[in-house]
Amino acid sequence: MSPLDEPIDDYLPQNGNRGYRVSRYELDLTYKMSSNRLAGIAEITTVTTGARERFALDLSQSLAVSKVFVNGAKPAKYVHQRGKLVITPRQKIPAGGALVFTVHYAGPPRPVRGPWGEVGWEELTDGVLVASQPNGAASWFPCDDHPSSKASYRISITTDSPYYALANGTLMRKQTKASQTTWVYEQPEPMAGYLATIQIGQYRKQRLDAPRGAVPMHALLPLRLRAAFEHDFARQPRMMEVFAEKFGPYPFEAYTVVVTDDELEIPIEAQGISVFGANHCDGRRGSERLVAHELAHQWFGNSLTLRQWRDIWLHEGFACYAEWIWSEAAGGPSADQLARSAHRSLARQPQDLTLADPGAELMFDDRVYKRGALTLHALRLTLGDAAFFDLLRTWTARYQHASVTTGEFTDLAGHYNPVPLQPLWDAWLFARPLPELPPRPAFEARSSTG
Annotated binding-site positions for Zn(2+): 293, 297, 316
**Phi, psi (degrees; rounded to nearest 5) at 143:** -160, 170
Asked about 31 being catalytic, the answer comes back as no
Catalytic residue among 294, 321, 323, 408: 294
Catalytic residue among 105, 255, 369, 408: 369
Asked about 122 being catalytic, the answer comes back as no
Q: Annotated catalytic sites, by residue?
A: 294, 369
